[in-house]
Amino acid sequence: MIDAVTKRYPDGTTAVDRLTLEIPDGSITVLVGPSGCGKTTTLRMINRMVEPTEGRILLDGRDVREAPVNALRRSMGYVIQHAGLFPHRSVVDNIATVPRLLGWDKNKARDRARELMERVGLDASFAKRYPYQLSGGQQQRVGVARALAADPPVLLMDEPFSAVDPIVRKGLQDELLRIQADLGKTVVFVTHDIDEAIKLGDMVAVLREGGRLAQYAPPAQLLSAPADAFVEDFLGVDRGIRHLSFFGTEGLELSTEPIVAEDATAEQVRAATLAETPFVLVTDAEGRPRGWADALDLATGGAGELLPYGHAFTIGRDSLRAALDSAVLSPTGWAVAVDEQGRAVGVAAQEAVAAAIRSAHTADVLR
């Protein structure tokens, strides 16, 4: 619980202004906002790297200032940008740092470190390497493992994935969500990236310059009902597209007619042709999509080169945003739906996706 907390510096600068947040246990709360809005200052006040000028921060109902500062910090995991690893320590000893400070013997601490390496997706062969021998994404995984080593109830994360490329960043975000699903930590996560906030947060606090709270809400509510013009502008002009991430594809109308196997006969190809599209989706022997073919050419034995299908979405698991993206990127305008094994189960026209979006919006309004 952050209760009316203010941080004012001697020169009169107010970094955080009477901020109040009820942070749910076992969830991810994301602080997001423009540079200079007090995100990192707020995070650092939780573990007393920065002392508040006014207000209280309560952990399980107890003011954090009542605990010895070193004990408080050791009770919380802390992950920063660039990982902040000790360059002279191996990966396993970096992860074992806090357990060793808490008095664990070396073998027990290293066993715990190796267990966490597996949890964060690091191969055991990395144990004896040093930080300079790792990629940026691997270093961040070590940083997360180190923060989890003493099994802290609270995990503080300060823009931990911002220094890596988008592909690695997505993988790290997915890894964090997987770990959180298993461990259920109370995570406070700082980012300047609204997409990251929407993806990771159970609750999202949007801060404005001067450290004042603009809105605090679950991501879906934030996107559907911004509190004011500042929040709406910060969310961006494509917030409606982002909102589709919270609508599932379970009820999306699919067609199986324009799907043919790569060894289909001419009659099967002709039977698969729909009036709406002159293309058919060709699948391999396992039923996985290969690409779109001109139905007439295929029926007459001149298949030629297949058109790429863009990317598929997994029906029931992925959102309507993924389905819409798939349809927009497809050269035929049809989204390809696959099952968990990657086998094609149907295709959806852009009109079908649009109908599902309208239906989802209507249900959301009536809820």
- Dump pLDDT digits (tens) for 31-84: 999 988 999 999 999 999 999 999 999 988 889 998 888 888 888 999 888 778
Q: Any residues with CB less than 8 A from the CB of 139 and at least 6 apart, and which?
A: 82, 83, 85, 131
Quick check: 31 and 190 in contact, CB under 8 A? yes
Whole-number pLDDT of residue 322: 92
Structurally, the chain folds into a number of domains equal to: 2
Are 220 and 76 in a shared domain? Answer: yes
Other residues' Cβ atoms within 10 Å of the Cβ of residue 125: 9
Q: Tokens 């599932």 map to which residue? A: 248
Helix, coil or strand: residue 154: strand
Whole-number pLDDT of residue 54: 93
**Rounded to whole angstroms, how far apart are CA atoms 350 and 252?**
11
Are 237 and 272 in a shared domain? Answer: no
Beta strands in the chain (DSSP E): 2-8, 14-21, 28-32, 54-59, 62-63, 76-80, 154-158, 186-191, 203-208, 212-217, 259-261, 279-283, 289-294, 313-314, 334-338, 344-349
Are 184 and 226 in a shared domain? Answer: yes
Average pLDDT, the chain: 88
**Rounded to whole angstroms, how far apart are CA atoms 201 and 360?**
22
- Global pTM value: 0.81
* Pairing label, strands 54-59, 62-63: antiparallel
Helix, coil or strand: residue 150: coil
Are 219 and 93 in a shared domain? Answer: yes
| 96 falls within a domain | yes
Other residues' Cβ atoms within 10 Å of the Cβ of residue 305: 8
Residue range 218-248, pLDDT digits in tens:
998 999 889 999 999 999 888 888 888 888 8
Whole-number pLDDT of residue 314: 94
Provide the CATH number for the domain around residue 103. Answer: 3.40.50.300
Average pLDDT over residues 261-281: 68
Are 359 and 297 in a shared domain? Answer: yes
* Pairing label, strands 203-208, 28-32: parallel
Provide the CATH number for the domain around residue 293. Answer: 3.10.580.10
Q: Tokens 């949890």 map to which residue? A: 119
Structural domain for 176, as ranges: 2-246
Q: Tokens 């809820």 map to which residue? A: 367
Residue range 122-180, pLDDT digits in tens:
888 999 999 999 988 899 899 999 998 888 899 999 998 887 888 888 988 998 999 99
Are 101 and 221 in a shared domain? Answer: yes
Flag whether pLDDT at 329 surpasses 80.
Answer: yes
What residues does 3 pair with on adjacent strands?
56
Residue 110 to residues 100, 104, 146, 239, 337, Cα–Cα distance (Å): 9, 10, 11, 45, 44
Flag whether pLDDT at 348 surpasses 70.
Answer: yes
Helix, coil or strand: residue 158: strand
**Rounded to whole angstroms, how far apart are CA atoms 280 and 278?**
7
Are 266 and 344 in a shared domain? Answer: yes
Q: What are the b/e assignments for 324-356, b being 16+ CB within 10 Å?
A: bbbbeebebbbbbbbeeeeebbbbbbbebbeeb
Whole-number pLDDT of residue 315: 93
Residue range 196-211, pLDDT digits in tens:
999 999 999 999 998 9
Whole-number pLDDT of residue 52: 93
Flag whether pLDDT at 214 surpasses 80.
Answer: yes
Instruction: Please tell me what DSSP assigns to residue 133.
Output: G
| 251 falls within a domain | no
Flag whether pLDDT at 115 surpasses 70.
Answer: yes
Q: What are the b/e assignments for 184-194, b being 16+ CB within 10 Å?
A: ebbbbbbbeeb
Dihedral in degrees, nearest 10, Cα atoms 242, 243, 246, 248: -90
What angle, rounded to 10 degrees, do the helices at 136-148 and 106-119 form? 130
HSE value, Cβ hemisphere, 13 Å, CA-based, for 351? 3
Flag whether pLDDT at 303 surpasses 70.
Answer: no
Q: Tokens 């509510």 map to which residue? A: 221
Other residues' Cβ atoms within 10 Å of the Cβ of residue 29: 20
What are the tokens at 303?
């298949």
Over the Cα atoms of the chain, what is R_g? 25
Are 139 and 223 in a shared domain? Answer: yes
Whole-number pLDDT of residue 323: 93
Per cent of the chain over pLDDT 90 is 48
Q: Which of these, 27, 11, 43, 85, lies nearest to 207 by C-alpha position?
A: 43
Average pLDDT over residues 313-334: 91
Q: Any residues with CB less than 8 A from the CB of 303 and at least 6 apart, and which?
A: 282, 293, 294, 297
pLDDT band at 304 (very low <50, low <70, confident <90, very high): low
Helices (H) and strands (E) in the chain, counts: 15, 16
Flag whether pLDDT at 365 surpasses 70.
Answer: no
Whole-number pLDDT of residue 276: 59
Helix, coil or strand: residue 74: helix
Are 178 and 267 in a shared domain? Answer: no
Are 284 and 203 in a shared domain? Answer: no
Q: Which of 201, 219, 246 is the last residue of a domain?
A: 246
